[in-house]
Amino acid sequence: MTIIAPANEQTDIAALARGGRTNVFGFLLRLAARLPFLFIAGRLY
């Protein structure tokens, strides 16, 4: 027996997935912004 979620639950799941992708993109963007500083610190060390 399969359980079919109502439409509002499907939209909630889609919103959570979209938010998760946004969060991953933000993490990668912040990581890329730190790379020059990490490189300089590594060279000075």
pLDDT for 12: 81
Q: How many helices (H) and strands (E) does the chain have?
A: 1, 0
pLDDT for 6: 64
Q: Kindly state the tokens that stand for 1.
A: 């027996």
| Structural domain contains residue 3 | no
Range of the domain at 45: 21-45
pLDDT for 36: 92
Between the alpha carbon of residue 25 and those of residues 2, 14, 20, 22, the distances in Å are: 34, 17, 9, 5
pLDDT digits (tens, 9 = 90+) for 3-13: 665 667 888 88
pTM for this entry? 0.49
| Structural domain contains residue 11 | no
pLDDT digits (tens, 9 = 90+) for 2-43: 566 566 788 888 877 777 777 888 899 999 999 999 999 999
| Structural domain contains residue 26 | yes
Sheet strands (E) in the chain? none
Q: Kindly state the tokens that stand for 12.
A: 């909630």
In the chain, the number of structural domains is 1
| Structural domain contains residue 43 | yes
